[in-house]
Amino acid sequence: MENQIKDKWNEIITYLREEYVNNDILFRTWIEPLEVVSYENGDLIISVNEEKQGDSLNLIEKKYKIPLQIAIEIKTQEQVNIVFKYKSQLNNERVSSYINTENLEEKYPFLSNGHSFENFVVSGSNNIAYAASVAVAENPDGQVYNPLFIYSGPGLGKTHLMHSIARYIIQNHPDYIVTYTTSEDFTNSVVEALRTNKQKGDPTATSNLRKKYRNVDVLLIDDIQFIIGKDSTQIEFFNTFEALYQSGKQLVISSDRPPSQMEQLDMRYRSRFNSGMTIDIQPPDFETSMAILKNKQEQSDIKLEDNILEYIATNIKSNIRDLEGAYNKILLYARFKNPNGQITLPIAEDALKDFISPNEELIITADYIIEVVAEHFNLDKDTILSTKKTKDIVLPRQICMFLCSEMTNLTQSEIAAKLKRNNHTTVIHGVNKIKEAIHVDKELDNTIQVIKKKLNS
């Protein structure tokens, strides 16, 4: 059937042009780029080429659907119902329905690091996040938890879980279109599209981008904190979020903090992000760390004694990425230092001496505080040190003053110098402001606790 129509396609559109369109420009713009894709149960799928035709699917449908159906009937004696689809959407659909394990990573490069539910070690610090992720992966229709919002400090398994969700859906629900993106990639594509629009003087690039992110069933976006505060990217993301959310599509978001602590985020979105399920992952306890190390052992041909694993698990507590880093470093070190021999505890200690310095206290400097505060508020260090006096900069700056006075031995004048203030009274004022505010402002108090945690980790 589709072949019959494909064979006669030229005849069909020539008829349409003569009988109905009668205008070369319109014909070339709207009709010529259309392509017959397939025929199923009375529906003839015709693709709209957004590179040539922009996001004009509705317009084409309104103006040309019936005339085309008539032209087809006249030329082939067949009655069909035309369904227009964007070419990119069809490509996505086809990709997901052919998927098999061998070419999975080719089609979805982000899966190449092998993260899956099977190799995620479940423990008391992450079991709720794990269970919610599995629930969403099994029911990706936006009905269980939408959005699923996972937050934690770095290296605790957010990306691992997000990849596992994506992998599970791709394998078990091949008809779902799944898109995973990092905030960084999302930001780059928005910036790139805006630039292309500007160069070409038309909005095709952004509308293509929109189609890419809005024609999906499941959108996973990793490390959302990097988008918040970046105006154009943030707006683009919220519009995408809203469009998908409204049409019941599944969203999964990860971040370094809960929505309630995203100070720069509109209240509306804080509550939107919170409206599904918000879950954190805690740093691993000793048992979890041991389980993860043993899991790594199973995948490696070099075995480490339990006392070495215990040494790693006892000393590396901050996160799992560091834990794995320490493990790998011992293997690498042993390969050079002692290629054929046994890996002993002293070798392990030696290998990790830069990693672990049990007797050395972490020294917190003013520069470090400024850096961490700037990162937390998505600002440049230089902006904090500048003379700007807008509210969104004064607050982080005063937080720096407060933390410097609490966590370092610097005098007020030294703190003023570090923050490039001319006068130490500015520091006194700033510190007092925060001291008073944290008694009444719960949210500010939380923010400062979060930053302190970051400083100490």
Residue number of the CB atom closest to Mg ion: 159
Q: Does 255 bind Mg ion (CB under 5 A)?
A: no
Closest-CA residue to 147 (of 259, 275, 247, 254): 275
Q: Which is nearer to Mg ion, 162 or 404 (CB)?
A: 162
Residues 404 to 443: which contact ligand ADP by CB under 6 A? Answer: none
Q: Does 324 bind ligand ADP (CB under 6 A)?
A: yes
Closest contact distance (angstroms) between CB of 441 and ligand ADP is: 29
CA distance 212 to 189: 11
Closest contact distance (angstroms) between CB of 159 and Mg ion is: 3
The residue behind tokens 């917190």 is 364
Q: Does 53 bind Mg ion (CB under 5 A)?
A: no
Q: Does 253 bind ligand ADP (CB under 6 A)?
A: no
Closest contact distance (angstroms) between CB of 296 and Mg ion is: 18
Residues 291 to 310: which contact ligand ADP by CB under 6 A? Answer: 292
CA distance 32 to 49: 10
Angle between helices 442-456 and 391-407 (to 10 degrees): 50
Sign of the CA dihedral with 329 first, then 335, 337, and 343 last = positive
Query: Which of ligand ADP, Mg ion, none does 376 bind, CB closer than 5 to 8 A by kind?
Result: none
Closest contact distance (angstroms) between CB of 121 and ligand ADP is: 4
Stretch that binds Mg ion, among 85-93, 121-129, 159-167, 198-206 (CB under 5 A): 159-167
Residue 406 corresponds to which amino acid? E
Residues 143 to 162: which contact ligand ADP by CB under 6 A? Answer: 152, 154-160
Residue 427 CA, chain-centre distance (Å), reads: 38
Sign of the CA dihedral with 362 first, then 366, 369, and 371 last = negative
CA distance 10 to 132: 53
Which DSSP helix (H) or strand (E) runs through 73? Answer: helix 57-76
Q: Which residues contact 338 (CB under 8 A, 6 or more apart)?
A: 347
Q: Does 159 bind Mg ion (CB under 5 A)?
A: yes
CA distance 304 to 345: 9
Considering only 320, 352, 372, 415, the residue that binds ligand ADP (CB under 6 A) is: 320
Residue 83 phi/psi, 5° resolution? Answer: -120, 120
Distances (CA, A) of 329 to 76, 234, 340: 70, 39, 17
Binding mask 89-118 for ligand ADP (x = CB under 6 A): --------------------------x---
Residue number of the CB atom closest to ligand ADP: 157
Q: Does 249 bind ligand ADP (CB under 6 A)?
A: no
Closest contact distance (angstroms) between CB of 222 and Mg ion is: 6
Closest contact distance (angstroms) between CB of 319 and Mg ion is: 11
Q: Does 252 bind ligand ADP (CB under 6 A)?
A: no
Angle between helices 391-407 and 424-440 (to 10 degrees): 100
Concatenated DSSP letters for 274-290? HTSEEEE-PPP-HHHHH
Q: Which is nearer to ligand ADP, 130 or 311 (CB)?
A: 130
Q: Which residues bind ligand ADP (CB under 6 A)?
A: 115, 120-121, 126, 152, 154-160, 292, 320-321, 324
Q: Residues interacting with Mg ion, by CB under 5 A?
A: 158-159
